[in-house]
Amino acid sequence: MKDLFDKGVISLNIILIGPPGAGKGTQASLIANKYNLPFVSSGDLFREHRKLGTKLGLLAEKYMNQGELVPDHVTIDMVMNWLDQNKGGSSGFLLDGFPRTVQQATSLEKALGNANPVGPAVYINVDKDELLRRLTGRRVCMRCQISFHIHSNPPLIQDQCDKCSKPLAQREDDNFDAVEARLDAYRRNTEPLVAYYDHQNVLIEIDGNETIRQVSKDIVESLDCFN
Ligand code: ADP
Ligand code: ADP
Ligand code: ZN
């Protein structure tokens, strides 16, 4: 695959699937930088709207705080808008956290058309105990959205973002009740996408329980073999 991608013959339309806390955001920037792809996290887009106090942000906030998915039609509009503005003539894109429902997946397919299929779909699989450890220890920079972990991925200076030095904070939805609701929403709505993309022969499954560095290595190796 790598040769064809480098020559511009094929594009990489990568989507990241995984439960909350699996490490999607952490891996998204690493992969996107390596392949020079525009990338976005649907959760970050919602948080940006929330910060700006837009109508969409206010609507999304209610669902996010309770750990529920934001309704499909608004989520799809928001991400399609991002794609229109960012995919341009590039060699693909990377979406972190979208699609999360079958309806979102079919909308994405329609928008891209048959000549430009979705794939690879990188599924990062992590055990529940580890997810809870990651979510409770996650600290995020509210300005650049980079996430750290108090034990496994600490910032250089405690409670400060490595990039912009702003104080780190815990996400409002990384509390016990919202986490349980998010895991439940993931099982009901998003996990079916694993079989969905497996049927399309575009699924790459990664053991996300490993270290950040090992997971990145495994993803890059799988992407290089993808065809
Ligand atoms: P995590 O990184 O923990 O998986 P995200 O930052 O991706 O969480 O998402 C935070 C919240 O934003 C979700 O709990 C949900 O309310 C909303 N959200 C993000 N992406 C989607 C999506 N594709 N469909 C519906 N809601 C979404
Ligand atoms: P997601 O976007 O899937 O919700 P994040 O990328 O925000 O997940 O990672 C969740 C938390 O786990 C963060 O605190 C992050 O620093 C940490 N983390 C990510 N990947 C790993 C890993 N492979 N091993 C240990 N901790 C990790
Ligand atoms: Zn920062």
**pLDDT tens-digit profile of 83-140?**
999 976 668 999 999 999 999 999 999 999 988 899 999 999 999 999 999 999 999 9
Ligand number nearest to the C-alpha of 162 = 3
* Backbone torsion region of residue 120, taken as left when φ is above 0, otherwise alpha when ψ lies between -120 and 50, otherwise beta: beta
153, part of any domain:
no
138, part of any domain:
no
The per-residue pLDDT for range 184-204, each reduced to its tens digit, is 999 999 999 999 999 999 999
115, part of any domain:
yes
192, part of any domain:
yes
34: domain CATH number is: 3.40.50.300
163, part of any domain:
no
150, part of any domain:
no
CA–centroid distance, residue 99 to ligand 1 (Å): 10
Whether the model clears a pTM of 0.75, i.e. scores above it, the answer is yes
Which atom in ligand 2 lies closest to the alpha carbon of residue 126?
A: 23
Among 26, 78, 16, 43, which residue's Cα sits nearest to residue 172?
43
43, part of any domain:
no
If one counts the domains in the chain, the total is 1
- Confirm or reject: Cβ of 145 under 6 Å from ligand 2: no
**Would you state the pLDDT for residue 87?**
76
140, part of any domain:
no
Which atom in ligand 1 lies closest to the alpha carbon of residue 46?
A: 12
Nearest residue CA, atom 23 of ligand 1?
98
What is d(CA 154, CA 99) in angstroms, rounded to the nearest whole number?
29
Q: For residue 100, what are the domain limits?
A: 2-38+87-126+185-225
Give the C-alpha distances (Å, rounded to integers) separating 163 from 126, 143, 225: 27, 10, 33
Residue 138 among the catalytic residues: yes
